[in-house]
Amino acid sequence: MNSSEIVVSTDRNQLDIDYIHRVLANSYWAVGIPKELVAKSIQNSFSFGMYLNGVQIGFGRVVTDFTTFAYLADVFIDENQRGKGFGKLLIDKIISHTKLKSLRRWHLLTDDAHDLYRQFGFSTPSDPPVHMEMKRKPDYQTVE
Protein backbone atom coordinates (compact mmCIF):
# COMPACT_ATOMS: atom_id res chain seq x y z
CA MET A 1 0.00 0.00 0.00
CA ASN A 2 1.41 3.36 -1.03
CA SER A 3 0.00 5.80 1.52
CA SER A 4 0.47 8.76 -0.85
CA GLU A 5 -2.38 7.31 -2.93
CA ILE A 6 -4.67 6.97 0.10
CA VAL A 7 -6.79 9.73 1.63
CA VAL A 8 -9.13 9.40 4.61
CA SER A 9 -11.52 12.33 4.87
CA THR A 10 -14.46 13.47 6.99
CA ASP A 11 -15.75 15.71 4.19
CA ARG A 12 -19.32 14.50 3.57
CA ASN A 13 -19.33 16.22 0.18
CA GLN A 14 -16.71 13.76 -1.09
CA LEU A 15 -18.72 10.67 -0.10
CA ASP A 16 -20.17 8.61 -2.93
CA ILE A 17 -23.64 7.98 -1.47
CA ASP A 18 -24.66 5.69 -4.34
CA TYR A 19 -21.60 3.49 -3.75
CA ILE A 20 -22.06 3.44 0.03
CA HIS A 21 -25.73 2.56 -0.39
CA ARG A 22 -24.94 -0.24 -2.83
CA VAL A 23 -22.42 -1.81 -0.43
CA LEU A 24 -24.57 -1.42 2.68
CA ALA A 25 -27.76 -2.67 1.01
CA ASN A 26 -25.89 -5.88 0.20
CA SER A 27 -24.18 -6.23 3.59
CA TYR A 28 -25.30 -8.74 6.23
CA TRP A 29 -26.06 -5.96 8.72
CA ALA A 30 -28.10 -3.56 6.56
CA VAL A 31 -29.53 -5.75 3.81
CA GLY A 32 -32.09 -3.86 1.76
CA ILE A 33 -31.59 -0.51 3.48
CA PRO A 34 -33.09 2.31 1.39
CA LYS A 35 -30.77 4.98 0.02
CA GLU A 36 -32.55 7.77 1.89
CA LEU A 37 -31.82 6.06 5.22
CA VAL A 38 -28.15 5.68 4.31
CA ALA A 39 -28.01 9.39 3.48
CA LYS A 40 -29.78 10.30 6.73
CA SER A 41 -27.42 8.13 8.80
CA ILE A 42 -24.43 9.83 7.19
CA GLN A 43 -25.82 13.30 7.90
CA ASN A 44 -26.38 12.39 11.55
CA SER A 45 -22.98 10.80 12.13
CA PHE A 46 -19.31 11.70 11.98
CA SER A 47 -18.53 9.97 8.68
CA PHE A 48 -15.22 8.89 7.15
CA GLY A 49 -14.50 8.09 3.52
CA MET A 50 -11.37 6.31 2.30
CA TYR A 51 -10.15 7.05 -1.22
CA LEU A 52 -7.54 5.39 -3.41
CA ASN A 53 -6.43 7.66 -6.24
CA GLY A 54 -9.61 9.70 -5.76
CA VAL A 55 -11.98 6.70 -5.88
CA GLN A 56 -13.86 5.74 -2.74
CA ILE A 57 -12.86 2.30 -1.45
CA GLY A 58 -13.97 2.46 2.18
CA PHE A 59 -16.34 3.99 4.66
CA GLY A 60 -17.14 4.13 8.35
CA ARG A 61 -19.19 6.34 10.58
CA VAL A 62 -19.26 7.19 14.25
CA VAL A 63 -22.36 8.03 16.27
CA THR A 64 -21.09 10.11 19.18
CA ASP A 65 -21.58 12.92 21.64
CA PHE A 66 -17.91 13.89 21.06
CA THR A 67 -17.44 13.82 24.84
CA THR A 68 -17.60 10.31 26.29
CA PHE A 69 -19.15 7.77 23.92
CA ALA A 70 -18.83 6.49 20.36
CA TYR A 71 -20.58 3.79 18.37
CA LEU A 72 -18.63 2.69 15.30
CA ALA A 73 -20.90 1.59 12.45
CA ASP A 74 -21.10 0.63 8.79
CA VAL A 75 -17.36 0.09 8.37
CA PHE A 76 -16.35 -1.52 5.09
CA ILE A 77 -13.55 -1.77 2.57
CA ASP A 78 -14.32 -2.52 -1.08
CA GLU A 79 -14.18 -6.26 -1.82
CA ASN A 80 -11.43 -5.75 -4.39
CA GLN A 81 -9.23 -3.87 -1.91
CA ARG A 82 -9.46 -6.16 1.13
CA GLY A 83 -6.38 -7.80 2.57
CA LYS A 84 -4.13 -4.83 1.75
CA GLY A 85 -4.14 -3.09 5.12
CA PHE A 86 -6.78 -0.51 4.22
CA GLY A 87 -9.17 -1.68 6.96
CA LYS A 88 -6.49 -1.25 9.61
CA LEU A 89 -5.62 2.19 8.28
CA LEU A 90 -9.26 3.30 8.26
CA ILE A 91 -9.90 2.12 11.83
CA ASP A 92 -6.69 3.76 13.00
CA LYS A 93 -7.64 7.08 11.36
CA ILE A 94 -11.12 6.94 12.89
CA ILE A 95 -10.19 6.14 16.49
CA SER A 96 -7.21 8.51 16.52
CA HIS A 97 -9.06 11.47 14.98
CA THR A 98 -8.58 14.60 17.10
CA LYS A 99 -12.34 14.88 17.78
CA LEU A 100 -12.56 11.25 18.93
CA LYS A 101 -9.28 10.17 20.48
CA SER A 102 -10.20 11.18 24.04
CA LEU A 103 -13.53 9.32 24.16
CA ARG A 104 -13.58 6.79 26.99
CA ARG A 105 -16.09 4.27 25.66
CA TRP A 106 -16.43 2.80 22.18
CA HIS A 107 -18.94 0.22 20.97
CA LEU A 108 -19.41 -1.67 17.75
CA LEU A 109 -21.15 -4.76 16.42
CA THR A 110 -19.44 -7.21 14.10
CA ASP A 111 -20.08 -10.71 12.87
CA ASP A 112 -16.85 -11.21 10.96
CA ALA A 113 -14.07 -8.78 11.95
CA HIS A 114 -13.32 -9.47 15.61
CA ASP A 115 -9.60 -10.00 14.98
CA LEU A 116 -9.30 -6.66 13.19
CA TYR A 117 -10.95 -4.71 16.00
CA ARG A 118 -9.04 -6.54 18.77
CA GLN A 119 -5.85 -5.05 17.31
CA PHE A 120 -7.19 -1.64 18.32
CA GLY A 121 -8.21 -2.57 21.86
CA PHE A 122 -11.80 -3.67 21.30
CA SER A 123 -12.97 -6.73 23.23
CA THR A 124 -16.17 -8.55 24.06
CA PRO A 125 -17.97 -6.97 27.04
CA SER A 126 -16.21 -7.90 30.28
CA ASP A 127 -19.37 -7.49 32.31
CA PRO A 128 -22.30 -8.56 30.10
CA PRO A 129 -24.94 -8.07 32.84
CA VAL A 130 -24.41 -4.29 32.65
CA HIS A 131 -24.71 -4.20 28.87
CA MET A 132 -28.27 -4.10 27.55
CA GLU A 133 -29.73 -3.74 24.10
CA MET A 134 -33.06 -3.48 22.36
CA LYS A 135 -33.47 -4.81 18.84
CA ARG A 136 -36.20 -3.85 16.42
CA LYS A 137 -36.70 -5.02 12.89
CA PRO A 138 -36.26 -2.00 10.59
CA ASP A 139 -39.43 -0.79 8.89
CA TYR A 140 -37.85 -1.38 5.49
CA GLN A 141 -37.49 -5.09 6.33
CA THR A 142 -41.07 -5.50 7.55
CA VAL A 143 -43.35 -7.27 5.10
CA GLU A 144 -47.04 -6.50 5.36
Predicted local distance difference test score (pLDDT) of residue 4: 53
Distance CA 17, CA 20 (A): 5
- The H or E element that residue 93 is part of is helix 86-95
* Inside any domain, residue 143: no
Residues spanned by the domain of 19: 6-130
For residue 130, give the DSSP letter.
Answer: G
Neighbouring CB atoms inside 10 A of 83's CB total 8
Distance CA 84, CA 69 (A): 30
Its pTM stands at 0.89
Residue 2 clears pLDDT 70, i.e. is over it: no
Q: What is the mean pLDDT of the chain?
A: 92
Task: Express each pLDDT in 117-137 by its tens digit.
Answer: 999 999 988 777 777 788 888
Write the CATH number for 114.
Answer: 3.40.630.30
Task: Express each pLDDT in 72-122 by its tens digit.
Answer: 999 999 999 999 999 999 999 999 999 999 999 999 999 989 999 999 999
- Total number of domains in the chain: 1
Distance CA 82, CA 70 (A): 25
